[in-house]
């Protein structure tokens, strides 16, 4: 039943919503839809948003073979490479205006990661060698400018000469020099790039990121991933992100699958098994059938955020299929919560950003914006279809 429902969610709800936001006048996609479903055609356009849209349509095309999906992928690719890619200094900007002119031209390694991720998928979907060539240029930019001896610097000036305060990926009153989130999504991007072309240097750096996760980010006493770090990768703050942990389990397992070395994969599988067990114990709310958000300084944030629910479905399905434990009931339960509560049944709606314990939405949270995109929920649908279909 979950398979059929998830497929319908993708085909009848998520894809049509994003199809309707395509901007054929100025390029790309409209950058904002508020909680009342008003489209702001003049809003700035997030580069992460557009990279995720490109990834989504590329992978939806590979799964469904609908030429309209490939056309949308091409539309996103053209906007990203013509408007968001810095032809002078390399890499992609953080934000552009509705017409594609730069609005925030800083270079964030998290943003570069999603651009590499998207171009690698678009190359696999379209065969366009130029996409792969640009992906490698940005890979080299990240390795030559963002990487240091320990991990990855996050935010640099447009010309890559100055390190800037990492406002975009810091939170809860902290200013982090380095983050688990950026490491995870660089790993995700390099997995996709390695899958596309089996390049030895990409493999070397992908393994570096995996070892960094195991050695520095994985809290082996707490069976969780630490979130924020200083320059030397010492933990700062006391935050435990349930959503990122369950997302990381299946993305790291996928990286190990793509690498294809069973002996190498063993310690990561053991790590992921421990993380999944901990999340099932402390974050799964049996009463509602949903996953809580995070805990900061011992205080649990009980918001049911859209992407946390989506990643929980995939993460627990992955854990069940790999024999980490009997987790299918959690994946199915969280899907039912999404189906009944997070999926927005209003005409022209997609998914609510999140709900509280009383199933109330926050009207200040958008339906689409630079962070709210078809990446987590669209990917959940595609993964469920691939794994159960």
Q: What is the pLDDT along the chain (389 residues), one digit of tens a residue?
A: 899 999 999 999 999 999 999 999 999 999 999 999 999 999 999 999 999 999 999 999 999 999 999 999 999 999 999 999 999 999 999 999 999 999 999 999 999 999 999 999 999 999 999 999 999 999 999 999 999 999 999 999 999 999 999 988 888 788 999 999 999 999 999 999 999 999 999 999 999 999 999 999 999 999 999 999 999 999 999 999 999 999 999 999 999 999 999 999 999 999 999 999 999 999 999 999 999 999 999 999 999 999 999 999 999 999 999 999 999 999 999 999 999 999 999 999 999 999 999 999 999 999 999 999 999 999 999 999 999 99
pLDDT of residue 173: 81
| Sign, CA torsion 142/147/151/154 | negative
Helix (H, G, I), strand (E, B) or coil at 208: helix
Cβ distance 42 to 72 under 8 Å? no
Q: Compute the distance between CA of residue 328 and CA of residue 67 in angstroms, rounded to an integer.
A: 34
pLDDT of residue 32: 98
Residues in contact with 47: Cβ distance below 8 Å, sequence separation at least 6, in sequence order: 80, 84, 92, 93, 94, 95, 96, 111, 114, 115
Domain count, the chain: 1
How far out from the chain centre does Cα 248 lie?
A: 10
Cβ distance 158 to 112 under 8 Å? no
pLDDT of residue 172: 79
Cβ distance 168 to 142 under 8 Å? no
Structural domain containing residue 49: 2-388
pLDDT of residue 174: 87
pLDDT of residue 347: 96
Residue written as token pair 């989130």: 181
Domain containing residue 261: CATH number: 1.50.10.10
Cβ distance 382 to 314 under 8 Å? no
CA dihedral 100, 106, 107, 108 (to 10 degrees): -100
Cβ distance 340 to 20 under 8 Å? no
Give the residue from 236, 194, 232, 195 showing the smallest Cα distance to 215: 232
Element containing residue 34 per DSSP (H, E) = none
pLDDT of residue 171: 81
Helix (H, G, I), strand (E, B) or coil at 186: helix
């Amino acid at each position: 039943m979950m398979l059929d429902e998830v497929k319908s969610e993708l085909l009848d709800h998520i894809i049509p919503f994003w199809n309707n936001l395509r901007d054929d006048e100025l390029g790309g996609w409209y950058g904002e839809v508020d909680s009342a479903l008003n489209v702001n055609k003049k809003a700035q356009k997030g580069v992460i948003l557009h990279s995720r849209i490109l990834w989504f349509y590329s992978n939806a095309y590979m799964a469904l073979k609908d030429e309209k999906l490939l056309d949308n992928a091409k539309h996103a690719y053209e906007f990203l490479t013509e408007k968001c890619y810095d032809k002078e200094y390399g890499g992609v900007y953080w934000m552009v205006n509705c017409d594609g002119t730069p609005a925030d031209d800083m270079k964030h390694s998290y943003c570069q990661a999603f651009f590499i991720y998207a171009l690698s998928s678009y190359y696999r979907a379209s065969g366009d060698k130029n996409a792969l060539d640009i992906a490698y240029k940005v890979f080299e930019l990240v390795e030559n400018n963002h990487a240091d001896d320990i991990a990855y610097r996050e935010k640099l000036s447009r010309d890559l000469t100055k390190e800037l305060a990492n406002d975009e990926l810091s939170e809860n009153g902290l200013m982090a020099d380095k983050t688990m989130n950026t490491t995870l999504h660089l790993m995700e991007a390099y997995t996709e790039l390695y899958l596309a072309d089996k390049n030895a240097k990409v493999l070397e750096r992908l393994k570096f990121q995996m070892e960094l996760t195991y050695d520095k980010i994985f809290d082996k006493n707490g069976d969780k991933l630490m979130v924020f770090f200083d320059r030397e990768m010492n933990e700062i703050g006391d935050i435990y992100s349930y959503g990122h942990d369950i997302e990381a389990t299946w993305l790291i397992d996928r990286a190990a699958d793509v690498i294809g070395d069973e002996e190498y994969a063993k310690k990561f599988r053991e790590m992921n098994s421990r993380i999944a067990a901990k999340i099932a114990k402390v974050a799964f709310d049996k009463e509602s059938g949903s996953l809580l958000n995070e805990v900061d300084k011992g205080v649990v944030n009980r918001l049911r955020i859209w992407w946390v629910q989506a990643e929980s479905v995939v993460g627990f399905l992955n854990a069940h299929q790999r024999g980490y434990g009997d987790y299918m009931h959690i994946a199915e339960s969280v899907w039912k919560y999404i189906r009944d509560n997070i999926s927005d049944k209003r005409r022209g709606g997609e998914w609510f950003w999140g709900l509280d314990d009383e199933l109330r939405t926050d009207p200040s949270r958008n339906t689409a914006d630079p962070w709210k995109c078809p990446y987590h929920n669209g990917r959940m649908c595609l993964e469920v279809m691939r794994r159960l279909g």
